Amino acid sequence: MAHTNEPSFKEETTHVTQRQATATHVKTNDNSITSFFDEEPTHHTSKKGNVSLSDDEEDNDRIQIKPVNDEDDVSVIITFNQGISPFILILTFVASISGFMFGYDTGYISSALISINKDLGRTLTYGDKEIITAATSLGALISSIFAGTAADIFGRKPCLMFSNVLFVIGAILQITAHRFWQMNAGRLIMGFGVGIGSLISPLFISEIAPKMIRGRLTVINSLWLTGGQLIAYGCGAGLNHVHNGWRILVGLSLIPTVLQFSFFLFLPDTPRYYVMKGDYENAKAVLRRSYINAPEDIIDRKVEELTELNHSIPGKNKAVQVWNTVKELHTNPANFRALIIACGLQAIQQFTGWNSLMYFSGTIFETVGFSNSSAVSIIVSGTNFVFTLVAFFAIDKIGRRAILLIGLPGMTMALTICAIAFHFIGIQFVGNDAVVSNSGFTAWGIVIIVFIIVFAAFYALGIGTVPWQQSELFPTNVRGVGTSYATATNWAGSLVIASTFLTMLQNITPTGTFAFFAGLSFVSFIFCYFCYPELSGLELEEVQSILKDGFNIKASKELAKKRKQQVARIIDDDQLKFEPTQEIVES
């Protein structure tokens, strides 16, 4: 049962002046260790006893969180409140090339379909075009089911590199296709790559990111994604009238994938994956390069801590382990709540209609005499990109929950206005063609254009971006499988919506369809209001404590606020800016 109002965390703030905070590790009970650092956190001693506290209320720089009814062991969360290192940036940019390929490969097809003509040995029917478009989503759906488990078994990096191989095979099959089915085989194989990349890239980034900017770094993947869609539409418009232009369009997708593969030859996997595999030396090496200047013993202890928190799933062979992981995902209440949130958000992202709207916008814009559908796609996907950039700045500052709760009502409003405008514009569907009774430059047509752009903006700000933060919801041992469920939900939703949208327009009219999406957006707002806690600024491991005995919205907001204040204070004081600090989660 969800408890949204009562915080189930008893939060006790301990007070330590900066001067008193002098690199002392204190064991508070059998299980918990605390430590404080001053400007030179180099000498550490350990003793048993209670934490020594100052009563200076203003100077609290540590927080104890005490989950109620916690049966688990104590966990000590070591946090590096450092600026971002070039190494983390490089890893983020290389991983998010997968985001670009997701966007480019799903984006170029609508332009390619315009210029393929008879190049595949026959005139493509509407149904043929639907099959070619859906093949990639189907491939992504299939591979995303297995990608999470594969990432746990083989590693995040090898899986991304394998997706590069699939991208190359898929692209070559398409470039050389002279038959319909070869084209589809290429699109399907490319889809396998898209599914793997769409799951593992955000997972990789969230595992290497410092907590205060984890949201932002993960949004870089979404920026590349929406940027990839925009570039695909741009290139598509440019190559529309070039002979075999669509083959060039597909060929261009080889560049990023070959680049990502080559970069990864020289880059490591995530520390959390190395810890999972018991490869502590590599885990330390990555942390050292990620957190320049971090004292060696803190690196050691971070690895110890990750090891402690990585309760590995038992099982005599891989199959039993995977089965036990699935069981753990469903039977552990925190994991199950995480699953509800992750799958819920991905379903909302797809079922509120964005992707179908991207296709349909061409027809809608035609109603006001705007006949260039490529230009239309560029405007709509450009808005998507620009507001993903806004999300980039807002996601850690304002918080994930806040931007979702702004975005969804905005979408509801924009879709409702579109539904009303459609009623007055008079569109009918005959077969697969839209027949507009009031064509030309009408006021209602303009209203529709404006509010579709408004819809795109609110969508990109919140639900277009936040679901891809899914990895932060799950602990390491079930992260792969949990994110697989969520990513598969995304691709299943995308398939269902793409294949039912036209039927909906025909059977329940555009007004009915948009009103339906508006209703879903409103229901989604209620879901997020009651079930989505604020996770910005929390360590990946802290999220578990939040979800342990409810969705804990209130407690999560308070904790996120405290974390932000702590970091602001540290940066203001300019004392611990480049030093590790440590916080305690205690049972």
Ligand X SMILES: O[C@H]1[C@H](O)[C@@H](O)[C@H](O)[C@@H](O)[C@H]1O
Residue selected from 32, 75, 229, 476 as contacting ligand X according to rule CB under 6 A: 229
Our finding on whether 222 is near ligand X (CB under 6 A) is yes
**Residues 291-330 as x/- pattern, contact with ligand X by CB under 6 A:** ----------------------------------------
Q: How far is CA 154 from CA 157, 168, 269, 472, in A?
A: 8, 20, 11, 20
Residue selected from 352, 384, 556, 581 as contacting ligand X according to rule CB under 6 A: 384
Return the half-sphere exposure (C-beta side, CA atoms, 13 A cut-off) of residue 226: 29
Closest CB 224 distance from ligand X, rounded Å? 11
SS (H, E, C) 485-507: HHHHHHHHHHHHHHHHHHHHHHH
Residue selected from 132, 188, 219, 225 as contacting ligand X according to rule CB under 6 A: 225
Our finding on whether 361 is near ligand X (CB under 6 A) is no
Query: Cα–Cα–Cα angle for 362, 365, 368, nearest 5°?
Result: 150
Our finding on whether 521 is near ligand X (CB under 6 A) is no
378: left (phi over 0), alpha (psi -120 to 50) or beta: alpha
- Residue pair 226/219 in contact (Cβ under 8 Å)? The answer is no
Site residues (CB under 6 A) for ligand X, limited to 50-89: none
Q: How far is CA 35 from CA 42, 78, 573, 583, in A?
A: 12, 9, 19, 8
Question: Judged by CB under 6 A, which stretch of 205-213, 221-229, 246-254, 524-532 contacts ligand X?
Answer: 221-229
- Can you name the residues that pair with 66 across neighbouring β-strands? 10
Our finding on whether 143 is near ligand X (CB under 6 A) is no
Q: Closest by alpha carbon to 238, among 229, 228, 224, 248?
A: 248
Helix (H) or strand (E) holding 301: helix 296-309
- Residue pair 516/504 in contact (Cβ under 8 Å)? The answer is yes
Closest CB 101 distance from ligand X, rounded Å? 13
Our finding on whether 494 is near ligand X (CB under 6 A) is yes
Residue selected from 226, 469, 471, 511 as contacting ligand X according to rule CB under 6 A: 226
Closest CB 567 distance from ligand X, rounded Å? 28
Residue nearest ligand X (C-beta atom)? 464
Residue selected from 8, 137, 355, 544 as contacting ligand X according to rule CB under 6 A: 355
- Residue pair 443/370 in contact (Cβ under 8 Å)? The answer is no
Closest CB 489 distance from ligand X, rounded Å? 11
Q: Are strands 427-430 and 433-436 parallel, antiparallel or unpaired?
A: antiparallel
# residues contacting ligand X (CB under 6 A): 11
Closest CB 455 distance from ligand X, rounded Å? 12
Question: Judged by CB under 6 A, which stretch of 204-212, 223-231, 548-556, 561-569 contacts ligand X?
Answer: 223-231
What is the rounded CA–CA span in Å between residue 272 and residue 517? 39
E strands present in 544-585: 580-585
Closest CB 86 distance from ligand X, rounded Å? 27
Question: Judged by CB under 6 A, which stretch of 38-46, 155-163, 220-228, 557-565 contacts ligand X?
Answer: 220-228
Q: Closest by alpha carbon to 579, among 50, 43, 37, 11?
A: 37
In the complex with ligand X, the residue whose CB is nearer, 367 or 490, is 490
**Residues 235-254 as x/- pattern, contact with ligand X by CB under 6 A:** --------------------
In the complex with ligand X, the residue whose CB is nearer, 143 or 494, is 494
In the complex with ligand X, the residue whose CB is nearer, 184 or 226, is 226
What is the rounded CA–CA span in Å between residue 69 and residue 9? 10
Q: At what angle do helices 553-573 and 540-547 cross, to 10 degrees?
A: 150
Closest CB 46 distance from ligand X, rounded Å? 47
Q: Which residues bind ligand X (CB under 6 A)?
A: 222, 225-226, 229, 349, 355, 384, 464, 468, 490, 494
